[in-house]
Structure 1
C-alpha cells in the first residue's frame, strides 16, 4: 500500500477522518518554498464522501502534495510543486472526474470561471467554439493566434470575427475541444484569452493583477 505521510498515515484516510470531525481538511506534508496553490469551487461537493472522491482524483495530478477541502464552502485548496506537467486543465478535470462539478479555479496567474449559457440569449453549436482574445485587432495578432489554434489536434477551421474580438473554431465531427486547450493555444501565441464559449458554457479568464502589470510593462518596452 502506498504511504503518503510520515508515520504510515494514508492521506485519504486522514481526509475521511478530518471531514468526519469538522468538514474542513488540512493535510500537511513537507512543502518546497516554491510551492504553488490553487483554489477550486466544486459546486456538487456537498458531503465528506464527495470531498474524498474529489481529493482522490486531485492527488493523481502531477506534483499535488496537499488538498484542503472545505465542504461548507464547497471549495478545495490544492498545494503542489511547480511542474510543466501540472496544468489548470488537469486540476479542473480531476474535480470533474471526482463528480465535484467545478465552476471556478483561482491560480496565481488567472481566475477561470465557467457559467452555463442562457438558452434565452446564448446559443452554441456542438463542435463550434468562440475564442475571445484581448488586443485581437492589433496588427498581426489575429494571424499569430489563428496559426496556434490551428495546431490543436481536431481543429478543422479557424475563422476571424474582428467585430467580436474573436476567432471561431470548428472541430472535426465527433471531436470535443477543451476550453483550456484553446486558452493555452492563445497564450502560446503571446496573447491573453478573455473567454472561451462552447456548448458547455462560457469560460471567462481574468488574469491576475501581477500578470496584467507584467504584460503592460512588456508592451511598454516594445514601444
Structure 2
C-alpha cells in the first residue's frame, strides 16, 4: 500500500493588519561593492496593507546605480524573517496571489519593470522566482555569486517566458515547490504546472520574498535608458506554506 503523505499547511501572512508585520517581513539589504550595507528600498515606495494583501507602489523608480547591480536592480524588496526548512523526504511549497501593473515599461522587455515572488537560499546562492510585467509571466532560476559560498563559474540565470495570458493588474495564483530527494523545483500558475528545473546543489531551507525590480544590464544601457521615469505597483497575499512528508 502506498503511504499517505503527511501534510502540514499554514498561512504565513494574510495581511489583515494595518501595518506590515516586522515579525514576518523585513526590507532586504546587501553589502555593496563599496562595503556598505544597502537596503533594497526606494524613497518613492508607498505601502498599503490590511485588506488581505500587501500593495507596494514605486512610481517612478529612483533607486539606480551605474556599476553595482545590488544597488540598482531591486527597487523595493521584502524578505521573510523566517527561513523554511525543506523536509528531508518530502516537498516544501509556497503559494501566493500576485498582481503587477507597470507604468512606462518597454513592452515585452522582461527587465525594464517587473514584480516578483521570490524563494532564495543565501547558503547556496539558489534563487527561484516567478516574475510578471504588464504583458509577460516568466520563471527565473539563478545561482548567485556570493563570496565564500559560490564562485563566479557557479553563476547562471535562466529566464523562461511561460504560456500564461496576462494584462496589467491581472491577478494570478502562483505556487513554487521544491523536493529534496530529486532537487527539483516546480512553478505553477493558476493551478497549472508551467516549468520545472533540477537545481545543481541541494537546498536545506528557503526564505520567501516579494519585490519590484528594474534590472536592465548596466553594461549595455546608459542611465538615461534605464531611468526613464518608469514605475510599478505590485500586490501579494496571502502567503501560504505547506510541507508534505512521505
Q: TM-score, normalised by structure 2?
A: 0.27
Larger Rg: 1
Structure with the higher strand share, 1 or 2: 2
For CA contacts below 8 A with separation 6 or more, give which structure has more relative contact order. 2
Larger relative helix fraction: 1
